Amino acid sequence: MPSVGTLYAIANQLELVVDDLFRDANAPRAERAKPPGDAVNPIQRANDRKTIRLAEGVRWERLTPHPDPEVEFLYVVYEVGAESCDKDSLIRHGGKEYAYMMSGRLGLKIGFEEFELGPGDSITFDAQMPHRLWTIGKKPAETIWVVYNRHGDSRTRIKP
C-alpha cells in the first residue's frame, strides 16, 4: 500500500496518469489499451468501481467506466487520521486539481498557505504547487476530485 506521494512518484516516473493504475492487469492487453472513445457502456455503476487503497487511509474510486487520458475523476475518502504525506513532506505533479467536499473536514496546504475545507466547499489549484492533504476531526472526509491534464507535468526530468 503506497502513500499518495509514492503513488504519484511511481506514475510520474513511468509517464502514466494515476488512472492507468486502475486498469485491470488481467484483462487482455488490447482491452487495457482501448481508448475511452471505443467504450460501449458510458455508465459507471456504484458497486463496480475500480478502487485504490493507499497506506495512509486514503481510498480513491474511479468515477469513470474507462480510463481517460486527460482527466482523473475520483471519489476520494480520507479516513480519520489519514494524510496524503508526512507533515514535513509535500507532493506535486502535473495538472490542475479540482475538489468538492461532500462531508467531513479536510486540511490542505498549498505552498506556504493552509486551508480547511468543510461540506459544500470546493477548491482548485495548480498541482505543480507543493501540496498536502489531511483529515481534520473525528469523521472521514469524503470528496469528489478531478485532476485535469496530469500529463501536463512541465517539471524538468533529470537524466542520469
* Ordered domains of the chain (ranges, CATH): 4-152 (2.60.120.10)
How high is the pLDDT of residue 68?
Answer: 86
Residue 115's alpha-carbon distances to 108, 126, 141, in angstroms, are 5, 15, 14
How many helices and strands in the chain, by DSSP H and E?
2, 9
Reading the block at residue 71, the C-alpha cell is 482527466
Helix, strand, coil tally for the chain in percent (to 5) = 20, 35, 45
CA distance linking residue 145 with residue 121, whole number of Å:
12
Per-10-residue mean pLDDT, the chain, length 160: 63 62 56 54 92 89 91 96 89 92 97 97 95 96 93 44
> What pLDDT is stored for residue 159 in this prediction?
37
**Cell 506535486 appears where?**
92
Per-residue pLDDT at 56 = 80
